[in-house]
């Protein structure tokens, strides 16, 4: 038979301008002569947990279709893409998926059935060797429809080529539909946006606020691998001459032992440490400077660490560097102690800011009382410490971002939440309000802390942070 192109496939940049047009003879030749591969029989280790999460979501939306896309690949340059990562809500409910996949929860009585659209095997079709996005000779073998149904533990699974017709029928029928938006343009275009869409995203964010035992274990794993990556970076720091070498060393471990980094690494030396999100990482590394390394490893499960250590490039802090570092360290200790169930989410921030503001007064930088410095109508200390002290952590480095403010920023800490505690001080090199000996110093110390029944559990405490411990840590690594 002649090989045919799949006209129902979703639109994608499947061909490049420099691709050739295969003649029919080649299409026919490629259609046959392939050996059958045995179907994989494995099941996702967390399929049962994902099913429980879908069931919990189902109870909140009886009678409503829920559409959760994995998302599309993002263009890096022309017809090449960044490495694909599924949307966090899709990963939370299904696990890692492929570009274009969709989870639909279809209402059945008072509950839902799970329907998953996935890329199908395309051996024997033109897409097999002509489609740069889904062709299995281009991107590797897909799990396929039948294997995906078993692997992910869903009720039904269909080829992705059928998703367009399904969505069209869903829209035409006028059923109540809620969509997790901004991950798949095709789905967003098919359905008018409603307030229900925003409410669904909000609800999923709030489901993710409390971490299960599995999630806590994955976050501990992310911290453990991040420690190894920090140590690789510290070894590189001994001879490195640029921030790039630090970023490369950290990423090497993240990619070797896990999935990737969870966000763009900040490897900020000298005055670059005073730029809160310095990710260019193209500056020099000089003895006598500080290196602010804010980085985290993302596990294969997509849970990520988010850790910052500020390291003396020479191996030892100068007197001025140590004084600022110790002030930030004391502020972080105060913040971590406040990560207790029942406290306001903002309590760790308030505790850390009290320490920093008093320290700035003691240094003669702030010429005011502590009450005046912390007055919400003044906040003069924020000139030197602009960012908040905490954010939620999990599948996203800034996790649960769409939760309602009364459940997150202005909510109470609850057992199972995981948040960062990351105070910092940043003295810009051209800030005339700062004594010259401190200008250009930027220090941040960040750990990942779980709210536990017995008190704060610092998941990243395996990385030294007290200044003497940091110096010993560097010295030991430089011996090896």
Residue 133 pLDDT level (bands cut at 50, 70, 90):
confident
Last residue of a domain, which of 207, 224, 244? 207
In terms of residue numbers, what domain contains 132? Answer: 24-207
Looking at the chain, the whole-number percentage of residues with pLDDT higher than 90 is 87
Do 262 and 200 sit in the same domain of this protein? no
**17 within domain boundaries:** no
Q: What is the pLDDT of residue 374?
A: 95
**232 within domain boundaries:** yes
Do 197 and 270 sit in the same domain of this protein? no
Could you list the active site residues? 79, 277, 294, 306, 387, 391, 398, 422, 426, 444, 446
Q: What is the pLDDT of residues 425-464, one digit of tens each?
A: 999 999 999 999 999 999 999 999 999 999 999 999 999 9
Looking at the structure of the chain, the number of domains it has is 2
Do 273 and 382 sit in the same domain of this protein? yes
Q: What is the pLDDT of residue 480?
A: 78
Across the range 69-95, mean pLDDT stands at 94
**1 within domain boundaries:** no
* Contact between 424 and 387 (Cβ < 8 Å): yes
pLDDT over threshold 80, residue 279: yes
Element (H, E) at 448: strand 447-452
> Kind of pairing, strands 111-118 and 156-159?
parallel
**423 within domain boundaries:** yes
**2 within domain boundaries:** no
Do 171 and 243 sit in the same domain of this protein? no
Q: What is the pLDDT of residues 204-230, one digit of tens each?
A: 999 999 999 999 999 999 999 999 999
Do 121 and 238 sit in the same domain of this protein? no
**19 within domain boundaries:** no
For residue 172, what are the contacts with CB-CB under 8 A and spacing of at least 6?
none
User: For residue 56, what is the domain's CATH number?
Assistant: 3.40.350.10
Residue 10 pLDDT level (bands cut at 50, 70, 90):
very low
User: Locate tokens 């929860």: which residue?
Assistant: 105
* Contact between 328 and 355 (Cβ < 8 Å): no
Across the range 233-256, mean pLDDT stands at 98
Do 245 and 328 sit in the same domain of this protein? yes
User: For residue 460, what is the domain's CATH number?
Assistant: 3.90.230.10
**382 within domain boundaries:** yes
CA-CA distance, 401 to 267, in Å (whole number)? 25
Mind spelling out the 3-state secondary structure of 121-184? Answer: CCCCCCHHHHCCCCCHHHHCCCCCHHHHHHHHCCCEEEEHHHHHHHHHHHHHHCCCEEECCCCC
User: Locate tokens 């893409």: which residue?
Assistant: 81
Q: What is the pLDDT of residue 9?
A: 42
Q: What is the pLDDT of residue 37?
A: 82
Do 198 and 247 sit in the same domain of this protein? no
Q: What is the pLDDT of residues 190-203, one digit of tens each?
A: 999 999 999 999 99
Do 283 and 198 sit in the same domain of this protein? no
Q: Is 262 exposed, middle or buried (0-12, 13-18, 19+ CB in 10 A)?
A: buried
Do 155 and 241 sit in the same domain of this protein? no
pLDDT over threshold 90, residue 14: no
pLDDT over threshold 70, residue 419: yes
Do 312 and 217 sit in the same domain of this protein? yes
Do 328 and 253 sit in the same domain of this protein? yes
Do 114 and 39 sit in the same domain of this protein? yes
Residue 40 pLDDT level (bands cut at 50, 70, 90):
confident
Last residue of a domain, which of 152, 172, 207? 207
Q: How far is CA 320 from CA 323, 324, 470, in A?
A: 5, 7, 16
Q: What is the pLDDT of residue 13?
A: 61
Across the range 474-478, mean pLDDT stands at 98
Last residue of a domain, which of 151, 185, 207? 207
**7 within domain boundaries:** no
Q: What is the pLDDT of residue 11?
A: 41
């Amino acid at each position: 038979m002649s090989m045919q192109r799949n006209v129902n496939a979703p639109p994608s940049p499947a061909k490049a301008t420099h691709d050739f047009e295969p003649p029919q003879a080649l299409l026919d030749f490629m259609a046959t002569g392939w050996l059958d591969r045995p179907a994989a029989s494995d099941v996702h280790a967390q399929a049962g947990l994902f099913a429980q999460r879908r069931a919990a979501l189902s109870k909140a939306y009886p009678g409503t279709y829920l559409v959760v896309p994995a998302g599309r690949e993002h263009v890096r340059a022309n017809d090449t893409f960044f490495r694909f990562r599924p949307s966090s809500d899709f990963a939370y409910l299904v696990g890692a998926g492929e570009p274009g996949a969709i989870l639909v929860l279809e209402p059945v009585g008072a509950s839902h059935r799970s329907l998953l659209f996935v890329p199908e095997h395309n051996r024997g079709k033109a897409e097999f060797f002509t489609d740069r996005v889904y062709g299995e000779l281009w991107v590797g073998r897909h799990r396929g429809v039948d294997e995906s149904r078993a692997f992910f533990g869903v009720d039904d699974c269909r080829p992705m080529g059928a998703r367009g017709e399904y969505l069209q029928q869903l829209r035409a029928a006028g059923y109540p539909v809620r969509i997790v938006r901004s991950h798949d343009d095709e789905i967003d275009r098919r359905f008018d946006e409603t307030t229900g869409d925003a409410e669904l995203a909000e609800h999923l964010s709030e489901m993710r606020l409390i971490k299960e035992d599995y999630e806590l274990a994955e976050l501990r794993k992310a911290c453990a691998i991040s420690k190894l990556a920090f140590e690789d970076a510290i070894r590189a720091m001994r001879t490195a001459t640029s921030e790039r070498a630090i970023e490369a060393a950290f990423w090497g471990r993240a990619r070797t032992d896990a999935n990737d980094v969870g966000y763009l690494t900040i490897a900020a030396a000298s005055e670059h440490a005073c730029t809160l999100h310095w990710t260019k990482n193209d500056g020099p590394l000089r003895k006598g400077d500080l290196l602010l390394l804010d980085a985290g490893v993302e596990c294969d499960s997509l849970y990520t660490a988010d850790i910052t250590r500020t390291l003396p490039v020479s191996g030892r802090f100068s007197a001025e560097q140590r004084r600022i570092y110790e002030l930030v360290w004391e502020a972080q200790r105060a913040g971590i102690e406040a990560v207790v169930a029942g406290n306001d989410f903002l309590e760790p921030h308030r505790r850390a800011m009290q320490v920093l503001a008093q320290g700035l007064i003691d240094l003669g930088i702030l010429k005011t009382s502590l009450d005046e410095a912390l007055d919400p109508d003044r906040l003069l200390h924020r000139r030197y410490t602009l960012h908040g002290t905490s954010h939620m952590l999990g599948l996203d480095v800034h996790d649960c971002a769409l939760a309602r403010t009364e459940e997150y920023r202005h909510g109470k800490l609850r057992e199972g939440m995981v948040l960062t505690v990351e105070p910092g001080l940043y003295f810009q090199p051209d800030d005339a309000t700062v004594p010259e000996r401190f200008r250009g110093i930027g220090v941040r110390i960040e750990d990942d802390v779980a709210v536990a029944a017995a008190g704060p559990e610092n998941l990243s405490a395996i990385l030294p942070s007290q200044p003497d411990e940091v110096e010993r840590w560097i010295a030991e690594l430089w011996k090896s």
